[in-house]
Amino acid sequence: MEPSTSPTSSSSSDLLSQYSIGEAFDEMLDANLQPREHYKPLYHRLQQTTANEFRRRKAMTDLSMRQDGVGFTVYQAEEGIERVWPMDPVPRIIPAQEWKLIARGLEQRLIALNEFLWDIYHEQRIIREKRIPPHLIIQGKNFRREFVGVNVPKRIYIHICGTDLIRAANGEYLVLEDNGRTPSGVSYMLTNRQVLKRVYPALFNDYEVLPNDDYPAALLEVLQYISPPTSDKPTVVLLSPGMYNSAYFEHSFLAQRMGIELVEGRDLLVDQNRVYMRTTRGRKRVDVIYRRIDDDFLDPLTFRSDSVLGVPGLVNSYRAGKVALANSIGTGIADDKGIYPFVPDIIRFYLGQEPILNNVETFRPEVPSHLSHILENIHKLVVKRVNESGGYGMLVGPASTKQQQEDFKAAIKANPRDFIAQPTIQLSVHPTFVENRLEGRHVDLRPFVLYGEKIVIVPGGLTRVALPKGSLVVNSSQGGGSKDTWVLAERSLAQTQSQMSQSQSQSQMSQSQGSSQAQIQRG
C-alpha cells in the first residue's frame, strides 16, 4: 500500500505539507487525511505554525530539559553515556471514553497478576490445575523459591506497575508487556508535562487536559499504606543503586517530590531484623523501602553474594514483617515473557472475566507447531528473550540480517523456554518534528498504575516514540524519545468544538460586517 500524502495549499503550514500515512494506525489523521475529532484543534494550530516557529519551540524544549538536568544513561562498550532526555513537542491526545476502556483493562490486569503471585507463592492452585505448565513458573529466572509461604503486606505484590500498550492497524489497544519489578519512566512523564506547559502554553488553551502531577503524592500514600503497624508516621525511603544507574534522575526526582530520603545500600543497616538508616544524628528506623534495585542485588546474604548495592539481612527483615518493600520480592515471574501468553487465562482463572485488553498474538517455541512456525518465518517475526528488557535481547525479523536470524534460530532450538515470538506489528504512528517538518513516527504507551488501599491510574502515561524513520524500537536506550500524553476531560471535546464553532461564527460575522461596511462606503 502506497502512503497517502497530505495535500499542500498556500494556507497550510509547511510543517504538514509533506506529511504522509501508510498502513499503521495514525493517531492524528484518519484514512482520508482528515484530523480525528479530538485532534482537530491541535491540527488547526499546527497548520497555522511555521516550521521556523516550531523549530524554536523544539529548541526551547531541549534547552529546558538540559537546564533541568533531565537525562538518562546509555551503556555502550561498558561505559555510561549521559544524554539529555529527548522530547517531541507535539502531544499525544487520548479522549475520555478511550481512556476509560484502557483504565478498566489495566485495573483488571493488575488485580489478576497480584492474585496470580499470591497463589503461586501460597496455594499454587493454578499449578495444580495445570492452567499453566508448571515448569514455566518453577524454572522461571524470577521465581523466588525462598518466598513460598511468605505473607506480604496487604497481600499486594505489585504496587507500581508500568504496562506497555501498543495500537494495532485497526486501532485496538494491545498489551505488549507488563513491568512489575522496577518500572521506570514516570519522572519523564511528569517532566514532559512541565516542560510543554513552559515552552508551548498556547497548546493547552484548546483543551481541558486531566492533570498528572499528583502521582508522587499518590505513590507516597501507597508506600505508607503497606507500612508495618509500628508507627503512626512511617519512615519511607527510596533505595537506588546510585548515581551511575541509568534511571538515577528518576530516583532523585521522585524522592524529592515525595519528600523522602534517597538512599543507597551503604546508607542502610539491619539490626535484630529491623532496618535503620545512617544519619548525622545516628540511626533512624526505616519502615518502608521503595526499592529500585532488582531482586538479585537486594541482599548479598540471600541472593548474589557479590552484590555491593543491597543491604545484608534485608530479606530476613522483610520475611519477618519488620519492613515493607515496594515492589515485593518475587514479582518478576509475573512479567516474565514466558508467562505473558497466559495472562488472559490468568484473568479468567482468578477473576472469572474476559480480558478487557488483549495480548499480542504470541508463539511459544516449546510448542512444536509454534517452533516450526518461528523457524520458518523468523524473518517476519519479532523474537524476544523472556527476561530481557530495554530493547535488548531482541530480533526484529524484517530489520535483521541472515546471520542474526541463524544465530537466533540456534539459540531458540537450544533453549526454547528462553524465547517468545510475535508478529511484527506496525505500531501506531504520531506526527513528530523531524528535520523541520512533521513526519509519522511509531509510538507506544506506558501508563502507570498504583495499587495500595485502592488502585490509582495516572491519566496518560509515558508515550515513547521511535525517532529513527521506520524503527519499531521505542526504548530510549535504543534511540527513542517521548511525548507528553494528554487524557481529555469528558467535557473537554464538547467545549472545544463549541469554542471553535463560536470562533468561526465570530470570524464569519466579522467578515460579513467588513463586507457590509465596504459596500456602504462604496455606495
Distance CA 308, CA 287 (A): 22
CATH number corresponding to 229-322? 3.40.50.11290
Determine if residue 377 is left, alpha or beta; phi over 0 gives left, psi from -120 to 50 gives alpha, anything else beta.
Answer: alpha
Exposure string over 56-82, b if 16+ CB within 10 A, otherwise e: ebbeebbebbeebebbbbbeeeeeeee
Nearest to 431 by CA among 1, 2, 78, 6: 6
pLDDT (0 to 100) of residue 504:
52
pLDDT (0 to 100) of residue 250:
94
Helix (H, G, I), strand (E, B) or coil at 326: strand
pLDDT (0 to 100) of residue 9:
40
Ordered by start, the domain boundaries in the chain are 229-322
Nearest to 36 by CA among 417, 406, 428, 309: 428
Distance CA 485, CA 190 (A): 10
Exposure string over 238-255, b if 16+ CB within 10 A, otherwise e: bbbbeeebbbbbbbbbbb
State which H helix or E strand residue 384 sits in. strand 381-385
> Would you write out the chain's pLDDT as a tens digit for each of its 523 residues?
445 555 444 344 689 888 988 899 999 999 988 999 999 999 999 999 999 999 999 999 999 998 888 876 655 545 555 678 889 999 999 999 999 999 999 999 999 999 999 999 999 999 999 999 999 999 999 999 999 999 999 999 999 999 999 999 999 999 999 999 999 999 999 999 999 999 999 999 999 999 999 999 999 999 999 999 877 789 999 999 998 888 899 999 999 999 999 999 999 999 999 999 999 999 999 999 999 999 999 999 999 999 999 999 999 999 999 999 999 999 999 999 999 999 999 999 999 999 999 999 999 999 999 999 999 999 999 999 998 766 677 899 998 999 999 999 999 999 999 999 999 988 999 999 998 899 999 999 999 999 999 999 999 999 999 988 888 888 766 668 999 999 999 876 555 555 555 545 454 444 444 444 444 333 3
pLDDT (0 to 100) of residue 455:
98
Residue recorded with cell 494556507 = 11
**DSSP bridge partners of 483:** 88, 463
Distance CA 4, CA 420 (A): 34
Distance CA 111, CA 372 (A): 35
Distance CA 325, CA 302 (A): 16
Hey, what's the cell of 149?
509461604
pLDDT (0 to 100) of residue 477:
65
Distance CA 141, CA 337 (A): 11
pLDDT (0 to 100) of residue 509:
47
Residue recorded with cell 530493547 = 391
Dihedral of alpha carbons 220, 225, 228, 233, sign:
positive
pTM to 2 decimal places: 0.89
